[in-house]
Amino acid sequence: MTESRKVKVAGLQRRLDIFLAQWCTDLTRSQLQRLIRDGHVLVDGRVAKASLALEPEQVVTLSIPPPIPSTLEPEPIPLQVVYEDSDLLVIDKPAGLIVHPAPGHPRGTLVNALLAYCPDLQGIGGEMRPGIVHRLDKDTSGLMVVAKNQAAHGSLSKQIKERQVTKGYLALCHEHLEPLEGIIDAPIGRDRGNRKRMAVVEGGRASVTHYQVKEYIDGYTLLEAHLVTGRTHQIRVHLASLRHPLVGDSTYGKRMPGLDRHFLHASTLGFKLPSTQVYKEYTSELPPDLQAILEKISLH
Quick: pLDDT tens for 70-103. Answer: 567 889 999 999 999 999 999 999 999 999 877 6
Supply the pLDDT for residue 180. Answer: 97
Backbone angles phi, psi at 81, to 5 degrees: -90, 120
Is residue 249 part of the annotated active site? The answer reads: no
Cα 252 to chain centroid, rounded = 21
DSSP track, 101-136:
-BTTB-SSSHHHHHHHH-GGGTTTT-SSSTTBSS--
Cβ atoms of residues 235 and 226 within 8 Å? no
Of these residues, 137, 139, 249, 289, which one is catalytic? 137
Region at 220 (left for phi over 0; alpha for psi -120 to 50; beta for the rest): beta
Q: Which one, of 213, 204, 203, 211, lies nearest residue 176 by Cα? A: 213
Other CB atoms within 10 Å distance of the CB of residue 141: 24
**Sequence-ordered list of residues with C-beta below 8 angstroms from that of 125, at least 6 positions apart, any chain:** 131, 132, 133, 147, 150, 153, 157
Task: Kindly list the structural domains of the chain, giving each domain's residue range(s) and its CATH number in brackets, ordered by start.
Answer: 3-64 (3.10.290.10), 67-161 (3.30.2350.10), 163-300 (3.30.2350.10)
pTM reported for the whole predicted model: 0.79
Counting as low any pLDDT under 50, the low residues of the chain are: none
pLDDT tens digits for 25-82?
A: 777 777 888 889 988 999 999 998 989 989 888 999 998 887 655 567 889 999 999 9
| Nearest CA-CA partner of 165 in 300, 291, 268 | 268
